[in-house]
């Protein structure tokens, strides 16, 4: 099978009002959503979006050759050249984590793979204010993949969070139809009304157990309370006017891995809508990479995505790899442009209110090295426009976690450490 992301690119463009800005949201006035949190936003950014690839970013095409403001735009980033003043490129940052595929998932986790990830830390601090404390998305993984899914978001307990892959599912969650809402409400209310019977039975059971077992079972009751609370919150808002965007989803879900680029475009559109309608403040988006063979302009690439990442310095394979990565950035460009064009009720651009972190836990997939992770930060109201080359002696070079601390502070979270990092990079943005 081959895909034709480019040919479908313009159909997506045409269909999606957002880029043209022609349509508006059929909302009960956008300003209605500005009621909460208005006084705190002036201090910094409000939303956080993290985007991570599984197979890294080819370093030579991601890092500019020159440091500072006057760098020449590297190949992979060419689609966002026009947004030069809206982002900063970082080189030299990593988590000092061990090499190999095993440590890959630590993009947002810091030194230990599969631990409390940055997005979840942020969601636990600021997520509760919106309908969805956080949203986790993925593209390119394929639903028939039987392997343990990869991911980038982990709870405090180190549990990997599920990711939504079907745009239609995300859309349904964000903008449920009336019929769906009635069904959801029925399910929630009937559940709520019967839960006491299950709970009574469970408590009777718990009481009879020895003390160690009783304590262990507390995990169950804690979880049940959390789910109940969430159900309560869902019920509170279920009859709120749900924004009904004038947005037409494609009639199919591009979930097969070779439709990844198309999936990314749609996901970015929906992410913009989610942020704009304040449905959530925290999103993580995972760009997977398996053996899928992409076609661009009707021509299939020489090898699958994963195969290309092991390029072994073969120029033809590197060229194809950069083609894919540039396509990722092309989609990102659409996202950043949409955010920039949208205004918050305070008159700020949505991009200034949203920190977009783009990176990976894989420094160089060809060697399975997890050092020097390609990283980019856009938006969030920072002073952007340069390439910050943070090389130097191994012990002095800041950690990627130091950047995370700065991002958290920007979001109004009092944080002075993250994983193995305890400094910050605030000075670099001043």
* Cβ nearer to another protein, comparing 52 with 381: 52
Q: Which stretch binds another protein (CB under 8 A): 143-151, 351-359, 372-380, 397-405?
A: 143-151
- Cα separations (Å) of 308 from 63, 400, 428? 19, 26, 35
- The smaller minimum CB distance to another protein, of residues 69 and 299, is found at 299
Nearer to another protein among residue 82 and residue 220 (C-beta): 220
| CB neighbourhood size of 310 (10 A) | 15
Q: How far apart are CA 51 and CA 358, in angstroms?
A: 5
Q: Does 219 bind another protein (CB under 8 A)?
A: yes
Q: For another protein, which is the closer residue by CB, 34 or 420?
A: 420
Q: Closer CB to another protein, residue 41 or residue 317? A: 317
Pairing of strands 135-139, 87-91: unpaired
Structural contact between residues 116 and 158, judged by C-beta atoms closer than 8 angstroms: yes
Do 348 and 43 meet the contact criterion of CB atoms below 8 Å apart?
Answer: no
Q: How far is the CB of 360 from another protein (least distance, A)?
A: 16
Distance (Å) of CA 391 to CA 93, 147, 218? 8, 37, 48
Q: Which of 39, 210, 347, 414 binds another protein (CB under 8 A)?
A: 210
What residues between 52 and 111 interact with another protein by CB under 8 A?
96, 98-102
**Of positions 129, 181, 183, 233, contacts another protein by CB under 8 A:** 183
| Least distance (Å) between residue 118 CB and another protein | 17
**143 near another protein, judged by CB under 8 A:** yes
Q: Decide the pairing of beta strands 387-389 and 295-296.
A: unpaired
Helix and strand numbers, DSSP H then E, in the chain: 11, 9
Report, in Å, the least distance between residue 249 CB and another protein: 12
Listed ranges 12-20, 83-91, 224-232, 319-327: which one lies at the site for another protein (CB under 8 A):
224-232
Nearer to another protein, 1 or 26 (CB): 1
Q: Which is nearer to another protein, 348 or 368 (CB)?
A: 368
Q: Is 232 in the site for another protein (CB under 8 A)?
A: no
Min separation Cβ 427 and another protein, Å: 25
**57 secondary structure, DSSP code:** -
Q: Which residues contact 308 (CB under 8 A, 6 or more apart)?
A: 301, 302, 317, 318, 320, 321, 324
Handedness of CA 259, 263, 264, 266 (dihedral sign): positive
Interface with another protein in residues 295-314 (CB under 8 A)? 300, 306-307, 310, 312
Q: Which of 28, 159, 232, 391 binds another protein (CB under 8 A)?
A: 159
């Amino acid at each position: 099978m081959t895909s034709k992301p480019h040919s479908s690119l313009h159909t997506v463009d045409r269909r999606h009002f957002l880029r043209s800005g022609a349509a508006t949201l059929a909302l009960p006035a956008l300003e209605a959503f500005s009621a909460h949190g208005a006084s705190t936003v002036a201090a910094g950014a409000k939303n956080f979006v993290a985007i991570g690839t599984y197979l890294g970013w080819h370093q030579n095409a991601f890092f500019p050759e020159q440091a500072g403001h006057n760098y020449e735009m590297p190949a992979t980033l060419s689609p966002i050249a026009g947004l030069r003043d809206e982002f900063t490129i970082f080189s030299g940052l990593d988590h000092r984590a061990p090499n190999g595929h095993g440590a890959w998932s630590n993009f947002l986790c810091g030194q230990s793979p599969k631990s409390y990830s940055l997005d979840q830390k942020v969601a636990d601090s600021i997520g509760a204010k919106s309908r969805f404390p956080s949203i986790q998305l993925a593209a390119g993984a394929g639903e028939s993949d039987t392997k343990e899914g990869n991911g980038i978001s982990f709870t405090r307990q180190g549990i990997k969070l599920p990711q939504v892959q079907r745009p239609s599912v995300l859309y349904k969650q964000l903008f449920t139809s009336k019929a769906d809402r009635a069904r959801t409400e029925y399910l929630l209310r009937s559940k709520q009304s019967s839960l006491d019977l299950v709970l009574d039975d469970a408590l009777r059971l718990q009481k009879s157990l020895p003390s160690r077992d009783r304590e262990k079972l507390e995990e169950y009751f804690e979880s049940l309370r959390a789910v109940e609370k969430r159900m309560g919150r869902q019920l509170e808002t279920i009859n709120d006017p749900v924004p009904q965007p004038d947005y037409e989803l494609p009639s199919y879900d591009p979930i097969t891995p070779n439709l990844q680029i198309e999936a990314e475009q749609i996901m970015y559109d929906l992410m913009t809508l989610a942020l704009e309608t304040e449905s959530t403040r925290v999103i993580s988006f995972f760009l997977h990479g398996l053996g899928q063979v992409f076609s661009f302009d009707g021509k299939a690439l020489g090898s699958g995505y994963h195969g290309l990442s092991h390029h072994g310095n073969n120029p033809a394979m590197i060229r194809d790899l950069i083609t894919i990565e540039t396509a990722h950035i092309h989609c990102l460009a659409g996202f950043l442009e949409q955010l920039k064009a949208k205004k918050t009720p305070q008159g700020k651009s949505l991009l200034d209110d949203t920190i977009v972190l783009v990176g990976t836990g894989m420094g160089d997939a060809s060697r399975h090295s997890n050092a020097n992770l390609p990283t980019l930060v856009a938006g969030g109201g920072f002073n952007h426009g340069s390439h910050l080359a943070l090389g130097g002696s191994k012990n002095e070079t800041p950690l990627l976690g130091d950047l995370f601390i700065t991002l958290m502070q920007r979001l109004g979270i009092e944080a002075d450490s993250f994983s193995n990092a305890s400094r910050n990079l605030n000075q670099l943005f001043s």
